[in-house]
Chain A
Amino acid sequence: MPAMSAMSAILIPDWVGRHSAIASAGPQAGRIEGLWWLMFWVSTAVFVAVMVALGGAMARRPRILGDSEPPHALTPEERGRMNRLVGGAVAVTVVILFVLLVASVGTGRAIASLSAPHAPIVKVTGHQWWWQVEYVDAVPGRSLTTANEIHIPVGRPVLFRLQATDVIHSFWVPNLHGKRDMIPGHDNEIWIQADRPGVYRGQCAEFCGFQHAHMGLLVIAEPPAQYEAWYKSQLQPAATPVTARQERGRQLVQSLPCALCHNVQGSQASGKTGPDLTHLASRRTIAAGTLPNTRGNLAGWILDPQTVKPGNHMPANTMASDDLQALLDYLEILK
């Protein structure tokens, strides 16, 4: 199994990310993986034992009945032997279950104990069908908002504050930790730590309607220096257009319906209902982990998002080819 997941990790392109509960990249997922293998081997042993007992019963030659005994009754010796065997099996079962209970509670305590002072705080809000990501800092100027892609420093615990405002979603990045629901009216918290750099995929795990299937996100674990650099670049306002076409693109973002839902820091587009686009070009995917962020995909998505992700809340846009190219030129500089 480990060999298999290692192989699939090689095949998975970077924009998809790794996504498996048994290829842990952090202490919590590692603990849970350990519990899984314990339970797997214990269960396998129990299953084999029960099947051997069943096979024994099937292979056994039955006792010849005496004339005088009622045909269905067991002899006292048979009854006694079976009582001992069944009683013993039940006793072993109870002991095994108790061991598993202790292992489970112990793992539960271990994964809940992760925390650190001054840890980065990431507030993630589930929306139908994308993730709003806000880095919360005591200094207002150091807070930032992005979407669908979360960068974290390797080797440091990070506190995730999880919430939802529409329906219930569930935040789940299996290589790092188990899932935690995002419930309107109940804010949740979860600590996560990645020990190995990498791109880890997450996906909404609570059925949230039409496009539940296409609600992915990426967690990118980087060495601290790289993370700091990323953080700094994200704090910057959006890039300023250089060419006339890029400027035309910015005008379009501000005048077309885009600005009603999307925010581009430093422009007049300041909508809050859709993903923040200030650094759109720095992200690997669009449409919540559904497509790689390429010029072609972006064009298709802007013109006809309902074909890519039917039922999502972004309307179709009709525009002249020139306008579209200008818009794309602008979006591509939003690094």
Chain B
Amino acid sequence: MSAEPIERGRVAADADAIAEDRRRLEETWKFASGLWGWLSEVSHTRIGKRYVVTALGFFALGGIEALLMRIQLARPENHFLNADLYNEIFTTHGTTMMFLFAVPMMLGLGVYLVPLMIGTRNLSFPRLNALSYWVYLFGGLFLYAGFFLNTGPDAGWFAYVPLAGPEYSPGKRVDIWAQMITFTEISALAVAVNLITTIFKKRAPGMSLNRIPLFVWAMLVTSFMVVFAMPAVMLSSLMLALDRLVDTQFFNPAQGGDALLWQHLFWFFGHPEVYIIFIPATGIVSTILAPFTRREVFGYLALVLSLVATGFIGFGLWVHHMFATGLPQLGQSFFTAASIMIAIPSGVQIFCWIATLWTGRILYRTPLLYVLGFIFTFVIGGLTGVMLAAVPLDLQVHDTFFVVAHFHYVLIGGAVFPLLGGLFYWFPKMTGRLLSEKMGKVSFWLVFLGFNLTFFPQHILGLQGMPRRVYTYLPETGWGDMNLLSTMGGLVLTLGVLTYVGNMLWSLMAGPAAGDDPWASDTLEWATSSPPPPYNFQYLPTVDSRYPMWTRREDQPIVTGLRTDRREVLVTDLLDAEPDHRDVLPGPTIWPLVLALGIAATFIISIFTPAGLLIGAVPCLVALIAWFWPRGDTDLKVLKERA
């Protein structure tokens, strides 16, 4: 394939030609309209927004569940929730926050932002992207359909066997959990593949590896972690489903199965999962820091290497979730060392961010406040993480509220704070409207104080011996006061989140127009209108620094020569992003939705009968045939033209 038709140079054409180009781009790339169009949409901005909105919806559900649990625990021997409902709620809370909120939210943000940040028109596989979203949505709806029909899973988000096995969890509750996991894993794997290929091959000319924005690096590392971690949990959830549905005995010790095998498989996924959530958050932090300190982020290379190192080490410490199972001493020391070692790349990142703040001119806007709040809480969470890596200490506080406090410090402080800052930062790009800075600051302080009030006392509760996952506790234990404090913090935190959401709703109705680049930012998503047109950029940009918006010259070259009568994008090479060839992307199609429905039918029916696999295969096959049916138009036409 030749790069011949692509010229890099300033557009010399007159205003009429530019307008004509834009008209044809709009014609070719326009969003599908109507209900049918909505269902067949493949645009990454549309699907990315759906991810964000859906994930926020699940965040709200998970948050309500958290609040119910806090109310139950506010007093000893409280009767607000019974044991059964509490167990269902804490399982659904964990499952929702991990599988239906945090991961899809981060990946969805990547779906929305990556093509914009690297200067292309869509993800590499637009139909696969639509499929990912639908599969995720159906998985989430399936879990909540079960929950509201009183068949919500109740064996914990970690579903340890034998408790989650057929003997001790009869009924369909855990089946729903296991299948929901498979839904979300399929979705996450498909997104990861899509992001990796897009980041590798669709970058704007000049965006060599050492100029990739840090958020995009973070999404790349995360995607690779998804590719290696998710198969472990898909395998284990499949084995669990088989144990439960067709009487295999993978996890039944009485039949030669092994209860610990589940834990190894689950945590081989489960620990990297934490970094799958955390690494994109570090990307958000780095992204926010540049515009709000008006400086380059200090230590680009160190930050990228830290991300990559975290990605590797993250796979070497799953056993620290299993110290209490009684593993040999030597093995424990290895995993202690690995768990402590991962604090080094985290430390490097914290120091680089503080150095950035140190050298820069800080603008105290809401997104930056969230970054400062992030540093405060994440350092605490990281330090308690080092404590948990020490086997002897872990043996005491493992499975107590100390651990609950720790991982909420790293997941809320380490991921949700940056996320709230990031959503505030990108909201104008997504909607074209500005949020209220005043309400933003109020929400930050409520969230920050409420969060610490909720979770700091839980450290003390854990040391005082309060185990996790208990629906109540005896009054004589003396845990009541700290629990009450924690519950009150939860209410303040809720108020903060409500203020944040209220700010969004207000802005959607009455927010001032944002303009293309309200924060005077450095990355390419701000080079186009807010919200971006369906084709993202009229002319694909070129890049000659890490901060393309800050170094953009008057005569900055742009990419020309791409056809506008079909969905053509530029493919560049992996290392230096030199233009390589052109690629044609597919337009709107209903078949990803049909395939997702087929997959959903397969999983749901197979809970009730193994024949579900056969029944579900029919719509899947039909959808796949239609999806891959040769269109015969574009490629043949190109060949004919060449001939």
Contacts and interface: CB of A to CB of B under 8 A. Distances in A.
B360 interface: yes
A58 B351 CA distance: 14
A53 B350 CA distance: 11
Given A19-B464, A203-B465, A179 B395 contact: yes
Contacts of A180: 324, 326, 395
Contact of B340 (A31, A57, A101): A101
Contacts of B395: 32, 177-180
A107 B390 contact: yes
Interface string A18-56: 011110000001011001100100010011001101101
B354 A50 contact: yes
Contacts of A70: 550-551
Interface stretch (B427-435, B438-446, B467-475, B561-569): B467-475
Contacts of A256: none
Given A35-B393, A188-B326, A11 B478 contact: yes
A231 B462 CA distance: 34
A21 B386 contact: no
A85 to B, nearest CB: 7
Interface stretch (A72-80, A271-279, A324-332): A72-80
A71 interface: yes
Interface residues of B, number: 87
Contacts of B11: none
A53 B550 CA distance: 28
B376 A51 contact: yes
Given A74-B296, A90-B351, A183 B362 contact: no
Q: Which of B168, B336, B358, B400 counts the most chain A CB atoms within 10 A?
A: B358
Contact of A310 (B83, B259, B352, B465): B83
Given A178-B395, A178-B396, A186 B325 contact: yes
A204 B294 contact: no
Contacts of B468: 207
B336 A104 contact: yes
Contacts of A210: 83-84, 87
A interface bracket (residues with beta carbon within 8 Å of B):
35 or more
Q: Which of A50, A186, A188 counts the most chain B CB atoms within 10 A?
A: A50
B208 to A, nearest CB: 18
Given A20-B463, A178-B324, A205-B398, A186 B392 contact: no
A257 interface: no
Contacts of B18: none
Given A56-B358, A183-B259, A185-B253, A20 B464 contact: yes
A43 B348 contact: no
Nearest to B387: A39
Contacts of A189: 326
Contacts of B635: none
Contacts of B343: 93, 97
A16 B476 contact: yes
A73 B290 CA distance: 11
Contacts of B470: 212-213
Interface in A136-183: 166-168, 170, 172, 174, 177-181, 183
A205 B387 contact: no
A101 B398 CA distance: 18
Contact of B160 (A13, A166, A168, A185): A168
A32 B354 contact: no
A108 B372 CA distance: 36
B389 interface: yes
B82 interface: yes
B386 A39 contact: yes
A211 interface: yes
Contact of B358 (A13, A57, A90): A57
B397 interface: yes
Interface in B323-347: 324-326, 329, 332-333, 336-337, 340-341, 343-344, 347
A16 B477 contact: yes
Tell me what chain A mostly uses at the interface: helix, strand, loop, or mixed: mixed
B177 to A, nearest CB: 14
Contacts of A101: 336-337, 340
B51 to A, nearest CB: 31
A43 B325 CA distance: 27
Nearest to A207: B469
Contacts of B210: none
A186 B259 contact: yes
B299 A86 contact: yes
Given A167-B168, A212-B470, A178 B259 contact: no
B501 interface: no
Interface in A221-274: none
Given A50-B350, A72-B547, A90-B348, A31 B392 contact: yes
A304 interface: no
Nearest to B160: A168
A179 B324 contact: yes
B302 interface: yes
Given A73-B296, A89-B351, A101-B336, A19 B360 contact: no
A201 interface: yes
Nearest to A44: B383
Contacts of B392: 31-32, 35, 104, 107-108, 111, 178
Contacts of A109: 329
Contacts of B384: 43
Nearest to A204: B467
A46 to B, nearest CB: 6
Interface in A79-112: 82, 85-86, 89-90, 93-94, 97, 100-101, 103-105, 107-109, 111-112
A156 B484 CA distance: 40
A275 to B, nearest CB: 19
B380 to A, nearest CB: 6
A206 interface: yes
B285 to A, nearest CB: 13
Closest CB pairs A-B (n = 3): A178-B395, A185-B253, A104-B390
Given A86-B355, A90-B351, A183-B326, 12 more contacts: A35-B392, A53-B354, A72-B547, A74-B295, A86-B352, A93-B344, A178-B324, A178-B396, A178-B398, A209-B87, A212-B467, A213-B471
Interface of B: 82-84, 87, 155-156, 160, 162-163, 168, 253-254, 258-260, 290, 294-296, 298-299, 302, 324-326, 329, 332-333, 336-337, 340-341, 343-344, 347-348, 350-352, 354-355, 357-362, 372, 375-376, 379-380, 383-384, 386-387, 389-400, 462-465, 467-474, 476-478, 522, 547, 550-551
